[in-house]
Homo-oligomer: A and B are copies of this chain.
């Protein structure tokens, strides 16, 4: 594999000049630069990234560690990050922690070892440990879920008030016994959405019976089981707030299993406007989160911090939007 030295020899210059020419430094005689460039092209020269990174002590790579590649919410974030990063010449590598603190931990290690310029992370939960990152002053932006330590920028969604709003909507629509299917305790979004749900019931002077709440992993099969269990309980709810779109799939499957009509027998509002939300009958009411914008904002913050590490840490909170469709109307 051709090295910069090969290019230099072929162009009849020193490696330093070759390097300068290849990197577009202005301080090179145009004629020499042209020779270098064509020599490089002829040899099919590709710079050696590790060598360059070692020497420069920096890389133009961002790591994006997300908790579930199969969730459209996170892939939208990924596109936001990617678009911003690409525009300024950074590459993005995507890592899937799969809601597993160990995998997350391993990817954080890899990111440190590869000396990425910065990390966008959706923490798996309270077990997330970013001490390594803060100790090393690796730029970090947390998305979707807050980090206990404030040593990072964060881009969040006002998920609690959105949950409250969605629940209030269900109340207004005349549902009497509203339940909630949410994610595991310890995941901020799961807890916040549950809290918002309770806020709404409290504001409406309703009791908030623990019997109407179920938790499971953020997965459709878990949500299916949880919903079946909930709907078979003596005090079956007549509406549900569901904490994400993956879970919504399980919930809707459960309704189908039990032959309950969406909207009429069971009002449903779910977080995340999945691509299929309007295909079910009646269409699914959702809390739409600005996933792409989250990714964009996160990448911008990260790049800003890479450029200037002394910036104050910020928390950006974006708004979610309730979109009411047929599934929450009788």
Contact = CB atoms under 8 A, between A and B. Distances in A.
Interface stretch (A105-113, A140-148, A208-216, A229-237): A105-113
Contacts of A61: 114
A92 B98 CA distance: 13
Given A44-B135, A48-B115, A75-B69, A281 B278 contact: no
A1 B113 CA distance: 11
Contacts of A96: 78-79, 82, 94
Interface string A224-254: 0000000000000000000000100100110
Contacts of A112: 46
A325 B256 CA distance: 15
A30 interface: no
Contact of A249 (B51, B54, B276): B276
Nearest to A44: B135
A95 interface: yes
B281 A46 contact: no
Contacts of A110: 49, 91
B70 A79 contact: yes
A1 B276 contact: no
Contacts of A312: none
Contact of A69 (B78, B86, B276, B280): B78
Contacts of A50: 49-51, 53-54, 59, 114-115
Nearest to A82: B96
A130 to B, nearest CB: 13
Given A70-B72, A280-B280, 4 more contacts: A220-B275, A253-B278, A276-B280, A279-B279
The 8 closest A-B pairs by CB, nearest first: A93-B93, A276-B276, A94-B94, A50-B53, A49-B113, A50-B50, A50-B54, A49-B114
